[in-house]
Amino acid sequence: QKEVEQNSGPLSVPEGAIASLNCTYSDRGSQSFFWYRQYSGKSPELIMFIYSNGDKEDGRFTAQLNKASQYVSLLIRDSQPSDSATYLCAVNPPTGNQFYFGTGTSLTVIP
């Protein structure tokens, strides 16, 4: 079982819609969770991190964490064509030094 799993997509949403990206992780003791955005040919860029169960909002982005279900999601409201990218979920388990990344979900926002 992979440490972090994401649906690779591609996910397509119309401009202005809500994009929902999902991620599951295997280490139940994990405490820190991150979402990165990666444009083609570029490096990952941190969007948000979340440590506690519930929702965390930052502008158009909302991260949701459910530790009981080992599930992290990212909602993008009012999606824009510039949001078209690959979104990477990352988890930092408590017992290791690594940050495990999912394979990413490709999002396309259609104008």
Partner 1 sequence: NAGVMQNPRHLVRRRGQEARLRCSPMKGHSHVYWYRQLPEEGLKFMVYLQKENIIDESGMPKERFSAEFPKEGPSILRIQQVVRGDSAAYFCASSQSGGGSGNTIYFGEGSWLTVV
Residues that bind partner 1 (CB under 8 A): 31-32, 34, 36, 42-46, 49, 51, 88, 92-104
Q: How far is the CB of 33 from partner 1 (least distance, A)?
A: 10
Are 51 and 32 within 8 A, CB to CB? Answer: yes
Q: How far is the CB of 48 from partner 1 (least distance, A)?
A: 10
When the beta carbons of 16 and 98 are compared against partner 1, the nearer one is 98
Q: Compute the C-alpha angle 61/63/67, nearest 5°.
A: 175
When the beta carbons of 33 and 109 are compared against partner 1, the nearer one is 33
When the beta carbons of 54 and 94 are compared against partner 1, the nearer one is 94
- DSSP one-letter code for 82: G
Spatial strand order of the sheet with 19-25 comes to 4-6, 19-25, 71-76, 61-66, 54-58
Q: How far is the CB of 36 from partner 1 (least distance, A)?
A: 8
